[in-house]
Amino acid sequence: MSTMLPMQGIEPRCLREQDGCDLSRDDGNVAVDDRSIQRGSRSTRRARSTSHEDAVSQKQCKRRRPGQRDEPRVRSENYFRNLYSTEPDFCRLGSKYPEFGNLLRNGAHLDFTDPAAVVQLTKTLLKEDFGLEINLPANRLCPPVPNRHSYILWLKDLLDSTSSAYSQQYEPERQVTGLDIGTGASLIYPLLGCAQRPTWNFIATDIDAESLRSARENARINNLEARIRIIDRVTSDTLIPDLSTGPIDFVMVNPPFYASDTELRELAAKKSRPPHSACTGAPVEMVCDGGEVRFVERLLNESLTLRDRVQWYTAMLGKRSSIEVLIDVLKKNGINNFAVTTFIQGSKTRRWGLAWSFLTRRPSPVVARGCGSFLAKDMLPPVTATTIYKPPSPDHADLVPSLERILCDTMTSLNFRSWTWNEQRLRGVGFADGNVWSRAHRRRRTREGTDAAQQESAGSPLDVANCAFGFSISISTQINNTAESGSSSPAVTVCWLQGDDESLFESFSGVIRRRLREDTTRSI
């Protein structure tokens, strides 16, 4: 499942890819950066008539009655999740924020070829949707808010599904530290992260003096200096600074797309619009030797030394070909715990997210395999969840107590290091030192007797971080749309939470699947 922000009619300005990916990444137009947002396709925009714009403007403005007050925003997790699921109402925003409204044509349309208009859109969205204020230098990239927000959403899901509590849920008390490499003048990622999660803190780095000055100012005006530490770096430094302050939960980077100034000019020349219409980004923001692949390979090489001192190393990329190259590099280095996703806005623009870890906590399938059919199956990380049981016929909600009993009886009969069942969530979490459900293991336990089995399980039953296999089993109730109205039936799902050995997950799932089918047959 992709991290999608289906903003109908709102699409970032990008370049066409030559190697099969729909669109490339940042074309560096500042105040437009690839990074900017446009309303509809260019051909559609050229074809719009003044009368059509007037009609649309009048229709949109009817949504807001004179003197109508905005409802107060409750910025919950669901609020942030649903942001930009529909396009922003420019008419409403223009009425609320005069500095934005003054730039709209007919009260509802924005000229995206005007850098000042794009900058004001970014400022307005940050203020309206996140309560943030920013200053942006005229000669630095202006980030499109929906694009950057989608990266933060994915990071939240990545961390929530791989926390040390194994809850696969947001934990409001969890303290998180992130490192943003090349934070830019806007400081956009730390600002968005801190606005959404009050227990998140950031280290932000950059090599450009002007960007650093602006970033510090943006931290100051948002009263986030205590939560965002900004560090000056130079080109010869490592990407990840000294971590003597403690472990990092995640590293994030949105690297320069272009490998050279020549590539930048050549790709810009292929655009239907003159390339200098709004291109005011600095070369340091748009170009690096080797482009995005070389930059992320550099990060990967540093991660091979730091390893689990960082839980997740992540990057946003613009080309499918870049993702394919980097996944191959991960596999060659024996890294099989990784995640890949797509970030989609509008009908065309696609960005790619890549993450890898040297720890063994496994992300959920939605997070790890969020790119749909855009990548070949052999490029994807291992499957981390499977539904092992559904009733043979619908309308079996009454099976839930039986399923719960069968699961708990089965789990307690096995030699797990730890097993807990949450009756409210109908979810259990367990850990094992190996394949304790195999016949060979059970025979050995029988031969050695109860004392040996107890000794094997003794020690630190709650210290499960080093267990070879961790899992969850959950019972969910699904509505049957094809059956009678209101009927439902249960489903049992096994999730792989921890471990390096995929065969343990597959073997365990198979054993529990067979047990459920055998025992529930007697109950139906």
CATH number at residue 209: 3.40.50.150
**Residue 189 and residue 83: Cα distance in Å, rounded?**
16
Domain of 406, CATH number, reads 3.30.310
Q: Are 343 and 351 in contact (CB under 8 A)?
A: yes
For residues 326 and 344, membership in a common domain is answered with yes
Specify whether 161 is located in the same domain as 307: yes
* Whether residues 190 and 45 fall in one domain: yes
Q: CB under 8 Å to 499, separation ≥6 — which residues?
A: 360, 362, 467, 468, 469, 470, 505
Q: Pick from 379, 405, 423: which residue ends a domain?
A: 379
Cβ atoms of residues 356 and 311 within 8 Å: no
Question: Are 229 and 191 within one domain?
Answer: yes
Residues 343 and 477 both lie in one domain? no
Q: How far is CA 228 from the centre of its chain?
A: 21
Domain count, the chain: 2
Domain co-membership, 138 together with 273: yes
Q: Rounded distance, CA 411 to CA 433, Å?
A: 14
What's the CA gap between 279 and 298, in Å, rounded? 28
Q: Are strands 228-232 and 109-110 parallel, antiparallel or unpaired?
A: unpaired
Q: Please, are residues 150 and 343 in contact by the beta-carbon 8 Å criterion?
A: yes
- The residue among 252, 249, 251 whose CA lies nearest residue 163 is 249
Q: Residue 66: what are its φ and ψ, rounded to 5°?
A: -55, 130
| In a shared domain, residues 356 and 232 | yes
- Residue at which a domain ends, from 379, 407, 439: 379
Q: Are residues 350 and 438 in the same domain?
A: no
Residue 263: per-residue pLDDT: 56
Q: How far apart are the first and last CA of the chain?
A: 34
Binding-site residues for S-adenosyl-L-methionine, please? 148, 182, 206, 254
DSSP state of 307: G
- 446, 309: one domain: no
**The predicted structure's pLDDT at residue 21:** 33
268 and 391 together in one domain: no
The token pair that represents 413 in the structure block: 């009969």
Q: How far is CA 193 from CA 130, 158, 187, 356, in A?
A: 10, 14, 10, 20
CB atoms near residue 251 (< 10 Å) = 23
d(CA 336, CA 338): 6
Whose tokens are 């070829």? That residue is 113
DSSP string for residues in 369-414: EETTTSS-GGGSPPP-EEEEE--SSS--GGGHHHHHHHHHHHHHHS
Structural domain harbouring 206:
3-379
Count of C-beta atoms within a 10 Å radius of residue 309: 13
Distances 8 to 86, 107, 398 between C-alpha atoms, Å: 7, 19, 43
Task: State both tokens at 281.
Answer: 């980004």
For residue 270, what pLDDT is reported? 55
Divide the 524 residues of the chain into consecutive groups of 10 and give the mean pLDDT of each group: 41 32 35 37 39 43 43 77 91 95 89 90 96 92 92 98 93 96 96 97 96 97 98 94 86 77 56 44 59 94 96 95 95 97 76 96 95 86 95 76 93 91 95 88 65 46 83 86 64 97 97 90 63
Angle at 73 between CA 7 and CA 115, to 5 degrees: 45
Statement to judge: residues 240 and 193 lie in one domain: yes
Domain boundary among 337, 360, 379: 379
Please tell me whether residues 307 and 410 are part of one structural domain: no
Annotated binding site: which residue ranges? 148, 182, 206, 254
